[in-house]
């Protein structure tokens, strides 16, 4: 029986909240929650056995172009809003670098997530990233997980990668609907439970 912990690595901008044209949520006027996120992420948190980890790139946070005092009030409000609905992230991982820095800490790099590479504790094959950008899919591939891609065809962040970065075999679900994401993960949980009852050894979804 697989008793390892599964993880959902959840993006913030474009996934939990909508992303504005300038790609920077630095005021409450720009804040708009992603449709369905406040309904279905709480159901996932309550009903399914995933550890929740927020992983977000915040380009230049702490620099003159993105002062911290414009970031934290909105960010903390987002967290409190989700907590009020039953969602508390086990960890929040923020990378502050710019794309040009090509830092190993920036998604899809895993340098800030090394604690989750412990194969004796975590089931990465049964884990997922959830995000709207290609770097969220590539993060899944780099972690050995699968991706749920909220592909709204925005093309945001696409300039960071090349066509050589094949991602199709990493995508478990492509949907912009949080209800479908919840149903997909719920179905996976049911498959796991069914396999446990039949004493099969392969209990994670492919």
As annotated, the active-site residues are 11, 13
d(CA 81, CA 18): 15
Mention every residue, 6+ apart, whose C-beta is less than 8 A from residue 86.
42, 45, 46
Residues 6+ away with beta carbon under 8 Å from 33: 16, 17, 18, 81
187 SS3 class: helix
Number of neighbouring beta carbons within 10 Å of residue 141 = 18
């Amino acid at each position: 029986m697989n008793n390892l912990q599964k993880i959902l690595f959840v993006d913030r901008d474009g996934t939990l909240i909508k992303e504005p044209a300038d790609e920077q949520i630095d005021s409450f006027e720009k804040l708009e929650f992603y449709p369905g996120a406040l309904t279905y992420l709480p159901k996932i948190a309550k009903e399914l056995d995933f550890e929740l980890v927020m992983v977000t790139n915040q380009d230049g946070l702490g620099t003159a172009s993105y002062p911290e005092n414009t970031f934290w009030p909105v960010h903390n409000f987002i967290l409190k809003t989700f907590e009020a609905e039953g969602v508390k992230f086990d960890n929040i991982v923020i990378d502050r670098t710019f794309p040009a820095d090509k830092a190993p800490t920036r998604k899809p790099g895993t340098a800030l997530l090394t604690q989750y590479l412990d194969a004796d504790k975590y089931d990465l094959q049964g884990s997922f990233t959830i995000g709207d950008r290609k770097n969220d899919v590539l993060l899944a591939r780099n972690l050995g997980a699968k991706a749920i891609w909220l592909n709204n065809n925005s093309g945001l962040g696409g300039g960071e990668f090349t066509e050589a970065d094949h991602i199709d075999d990493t995508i478990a679900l492509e949907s912009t609907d949080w209800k479908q994401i919840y149903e997909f993960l719920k179905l996976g949980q049911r498959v796991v439970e069914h396999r446990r009852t039949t004493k099969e050894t392969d209990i994670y979804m492919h």
